[in-house]
Amino acid sequence: MQRRLCGAGHIVRSPYEFAGEIFPVRHVSGDFITVFEQGAELVFAIGDIEGKGLYAAMWFTHLVAMIRVQVLAGKHPAAAVGTINRNLCKMQFAPPLTTLFLAALNRESGKLTYCNAGHPAAQLLRRRGTAERLQAGGPVLGVVPQARFARGATTLEPGDCLLAFSDGIVDSRNSQGVEFGAERLLAAARQSQELSAPAMLFSVLGAAADFAGSQRDDDIGLLVLRRESGGRV
């Protein structure tokens, strides 16, 4: 049910392709994704709610609903995140701390606007071999009522690929206690960048699983957005 509420795990809107998935360490996940269309935009988010299991997952539907309400009201990602943060801070009982990366892709222009609220920076892998960290935004949600959130913007060019993830994948450790880390994550993404979005997602996940084995103790959220280098997806 939680996966169904996240939205479609695979969307193709040529020349763009989206794939996203959550991998709970228990029966339900504190990590979440959501994706939906709003006019000419593909809106998507990945977040991490403090804690694990049922406690964290109980907040999932509330946060996803707030994201949709704010975006459907016409707010850009930074404005939406700011309103969500204020609403969380006003609650009479303390909500769990939440990190969030919220983005909107204009499918006609390729422009991506985003806001990162304390979440691991998404990586935009350029076709030419460089990588950009998408970190513009602000602090973790639910702590500072008057926090300011900056709006980030970039453009997906043909052949570019966006990789967004929760800390569960980079923090996974092998039997010697060594973290998988951001460098291995990027290397795995580079090796599979020419694949379809779902194939790239599971290739990156497989690289982390091969490294850590059965040592995983945190939820994982992972999403891939790629723009075809030419022609149709």
Q: Is residue 37 part of a domain?
A: yes
User: What is the per-residue pLDDT for 95?
Assistant: 77
Return the bridge partners of 102, or none: 45, 115
What whole-number percentage of the chain has pLDDT above 70?
Answer: 89
Tell me the per-residue pLDDT of 76-132, one tens digit each, with 9 for 90 and over: 999 999 999 999 998 877 778 899 999 999 999 999 999 999 999 999 999 988 999
Q: Is residue 144 part of a domain?
A: yes
- Spell out the alpha helix ranges (H) of the chain: 2-6, 53-57, 60-72, 77-89, 167-170, 181-191, 197-212
CA angle 208, 52, 82 (to 5 degrees): 95
Is residue 31 scored above 90 in pLDDT? no
Q: Is residue 204 part of a domain?
A: no
What length is written for the chain? 233
**Which DSSP state fits 151?**
P
Q: Which helix H or strand E contains 124, and what residues bound it?
A: strand 122-125
- CATH number at 107 reads 3.60.40.10
User: What is the per-residue pLDDT for 5?
Assistant: 63
φ and ψ at residue 104, rounded to 5 degrees: -135, 125
Q: Is residue 131 part of a domain?
A: yes
Please compute the mean of the pLDDT values over residues 166-175 and round it to a whole number: 91
Class of residue 108 by CB neighbours under 10 A (exposed 0-12, middle 13-18, buried 19+): exposed
Q: Is residue 186 part of a domain?
A: no
Q: Place 1 in a pLDDT band, splitting at 50, 70 and 90.
A: low
User: What is the per-residue pLDDT for 187?
Assistant: 95
Rg (CA), the chain: 17
**Is the pTM value of this prediction over 0.75?**
yes
Is residue 232 scored above 60 in pLDDT? no
Q: Is residue 180 part of a domain?
A: no
Tell me the per-residue pLDDT of 191-210, one tens digit each, with 9 for 90 and over: 999 999 999 999 999 999 99
Mean predicted lDDT score pLDDT of the chain:
90
Is residue 11 scored above 50 in pLDDT? yes
Q: Place 27 in a pLDDT band, splitting at 50, 70 and 90.
A: low
User: What is the per-residue pLDDT for 85?
Assistant: 96
Residue range of the domain that includes 28: 2-167+217-227
Domains of the chain: total: 1
Q: Is residue 147 part of a domain?
A: yes
For residues 4 and 208, give the distance between their C-alpha atoms in angstroms, rounded to a whole number.
Answer: 25
Is residue 233 scored above 50 in pLDDT? no
Q: Is residue 233 part of a domain?
A: no
Is residue 230 scored above 80 in pLDDT? no
Please compute the mean of the pLDDT values over residues 169-193 and round it to a whole number: 92
For residues 201 and 197, give the distance between their C-alpha atoms in angstroms, rounded to a whole number.
Answer: 6
Is residue 231 scored above 50 in pLDDT? no
Count CB atoms within 10 A of the CB of residue 206. Answer: 12
In 151-171, which positions are buried (b, 16+ CB within 10 angstroms) versus exposed (e)?
ebebebeebbbbbbbbbbbbb
